[in-house]
Structure 1
Amino acid sequence: MRGDILGIKSYIKAVAGYLPGKIEKNDLTKRLTKKTGIYERHLADENECASDLAVQVAERMFAQYAIEREQIDFIILCTQSPDYFLPTTACLLQEKLHLSKHCGAFDFNLGCSGYIYGLSIAKGLVETGQAKQVLLLTAETYSKYIHPGDETVKPLFGDGATATLIAAVQSDVEGIHSFEFGTDGSGADSLIVPAGALRNPYGKTSIIEQVDDYGNRRTNYHINMNGSEITNFALNVVPETVQNILGKAGLEKRDIDYYVFHQANKFMLDFLQQKCELQGLPFWNDPSNCGNTVSNSVPLAITQLLEAEKALALGKVMLIGFGVGLSWAGCIVDLSHVPR
């Protein structure tokens, strides 16, 4: 996709991932493990928060790509597990990462579609001249929301963080483009922590324990997920999203160098590849060592892809995220400016 004139375009210039050191392995004999293809997950320690993971991955990216932190104009954090209700966790990260006090900082609360939203925000900041370099962070500790006795979600979710540098480039070719967004708030109850925030406040809302027919336990203070509803939702919205993105970019399916979807689980990704008629095309599907890491999953997959496909041109990579909200989003990115 080409711009009308030579001007400022936003490009991904660096990307890094971080997984906590604590590893919990799934039971390889369980049907759920075989179906999802998730063999282990990385979990934050009891006293480890989203900002701690974000610091680890940002420092890793700064060192790996020799990035001058004082040149960062904006820091954006996507998380649904902030350190505090207030202040904004991104403000804490400005201090922890020793960024300039002239650096803008804010959080936004989104799950599996959040990385795409973050790229859109960063693109807007860069291409309107408000920033030259934007640090987009994702960090989640979903494990803290999961009841230890709930085997419907416990084997699925892992913790982690990612860092992406979006920077201005003089070019007539778009580096991040063809965005597509969607929302269906009627499905909010399909993936929710019902109690603990201000609608049903902690300390004023009674703890209600639920036990399903299979002995899985959860309370209204833990993640409650309707897996079949989430799967049906994804199978319904993702194929149309793929077509809409291709239409906006003026591309055919075979023109895309790689498809990188939210790494929910192998079963869902296999099904989506078929439903979107992408068999035989480059399609990333590997949640095996980290599980569903929510907003981290797409950028973590990008780091894996860059490592695995060092010789492959990645000028047109389609990214799609979908999940909690219900929310979905997608775009096309040019990864050729990321050193390998």
Structure 2
Amino acid sequence: MAERFGLHEKWLDRMTGNRSRYFCEPDSADGVPKNTGDLATLAGQRALAAAGVELSSIDFLILSTGSPDHLMPATVNLVADRLGLNDLPAIQLTAGCAGALQGLYTARALLASGHRRGLVIGADSVVKLWPANRDLKRISPAELANFALFGDGAGAAVVDASVDGPGLVVDHVVLRTVGKGRKPAQLVRWYGADGAPTITAANGKEIREPMGEEDYKAIEQYVPGLAAGVLQELAQLTGWPVAEVEHILTPQLNGVMADRIREFMGVRPEQAVGCVADTGNNGNALPFIQLYRALKRIEEGGGDRDRVLVTTIESAKWTVSGLALRYRREAAGDVQ
């Protein structure tokens, strides 16, 4: 990352704690995903294969993303076409860090309304925010730091209303906005680097308007407390003492912040399931990546009782969300 962005390794490590991240390649001819739609399609295909379900059994498709490939057509419809899905509801949610749980929240409502099975995908890429000629001189140091912070990725889950087979059973979902009276802590403009207008700065100098802005002080101030509040709410809803829960997925802004938030939440290192230091902040994909890691840990551990609590905080206009899940190895009378 230091070589790619022209930033110092020690600065990257101290400020972000991220060791690596992944890029789409818009000019790729060797199968590397080019954009959000490519990522979402691959994730959807792999989720369907892993679940061992027929494509014809899918009743709806949900895609949450903060970086669609176009304003129109909706990326979810392009993904549906590529997956071979047709004649079903295809829903696209515009969101950031809470988007994956917004997608699962919506899916749960659809399952409760009579649908039997669906596919939920979260995907993001920042390729559109780069200048077309990849000229790093056109990007301010603050924006370069964001490119080191955020990663490209996708995750997907098959959600099912039946009781057949093992899976993560959803006990509770928490989702609500808490942004009333709060200033947004993140802003991403839609036009990308090449479309950015020139504005006049306070000193009278003409500069390119930044593609995105983040209020890191507000994030550092509010996210730990909001995350701890969601965790305690889930503990009360389930009756599970936090200290006894086997797997806890904490918010993942970056590697440094993830550790600080985990400590504030009172989550022990062996309980926490993270990924951001290895993958970068993948936005809508990140909770799926965490869930994938938790599931692998559960399957390898072979325990009789595996519980999962998920907390995500979106600082753009302040959304809190959480999930309480149990892993079932046998059929059970719950919605999965």
Interval of TM-score (by shorter of Structure 1 and Structure 2): 0.7 to 0.9
Q: Equivalences for 1:79-90 in 2 at 5 Å?
A: 79-90=65-76
The 1:315–1:74 alpha-carbon spacing in structure 2 relative to 1, beyond 3 Å, is farther
Partner amino acid, structure 1, of 2:309: M
Query: How does 1:281-292 map onto structure 2 within 5 Å?
Result: 282-292=271-281
Secondary structure of the residue aligned to 1:163 is strand
Equivalent residue for 2:255, pick from 255, 263, 266: 266
Q: How does 1:39-188 map to 2 (within 5 A)?
A: 39-46=19-26, 48-99=34-85, 101-129=86-114, 131-145=115-129, 148-149=139-140, 150-170=143-163, 175-183=169-177, 184=179, 186-187=181-182
Q: Percent identity?
A: 20
Confirm or deny that 1:252 pairs with 2:246: no
Equivalent AA in structure 2 for residue 250 of structure 1: G
**Where is the strand percentage greater, Structure 1 or Structure 2?**
1
| Aligned residue runs from structure 1 range 207-226, under 5 A | 207-208=198-199, 219-220=208-209, 222-226=211-215
Distance 1:226 1:307 in 2: 35
**Are residues 28 and 316 of structure 1, via their aligned partners in 2, closer, same or farther at CA, if it must alter by over 3 Å?**
farther
Question: CA 1:26–1:272 in 2, change beyond 3 Å: closer, same or farther?
Answer: farther
Q: 2 CA distance for matches of 1:190 and 1:230?
A: 7
For residues 266 and 154 of structure 1, the distance between their equivalents in structure 2, rounded to whole angstroms, comes to: 14
Could you tell me how far apart the structure 2 residues matched to 1:37 and 1:137 are?
27
Q: Please list every run of 5 or more consecutive structure 1 residues that lacks an aligned counterpart in the other structure.
A: 1-22, 212-217
Q: Secondary structure at the match of 1:262?
A: coil
> Counterpart of 1:317 in 2: which secondary structure?
strand
Against the structure 1 CA distance between its residues 209 and 31, is the aligned structure 2 distance closer, same or farther, given a 3 Å change threshold?
A: farther
Q: How many residues align?
A: 303
Amino acid at match of 1:233: Y
Q: CA deviation at 1:186?
A: 4.7
CA RMSD of aligned residues (A): 3.1
Separation in structure 2 between the aligned mates of residue 252 and residue 195 of structure 1, nearest angstrom? 43
Deviations 1:292-327 (A, max 9, x none): 111111111122233344124464201111123322
Q: 1:311 aligns with which of 296, 301, 305?
A: 301
Aligned counterparts of 2:160 and 2:324: Cα–Cα separation in 1: 16
Secondary structure in 2 matching 1:45:
coil
**Secondary structure of 1:306's aligned partner:** helix
Q: Is the 8 A contact 2:100 2:122 kept in 1?
A: yes
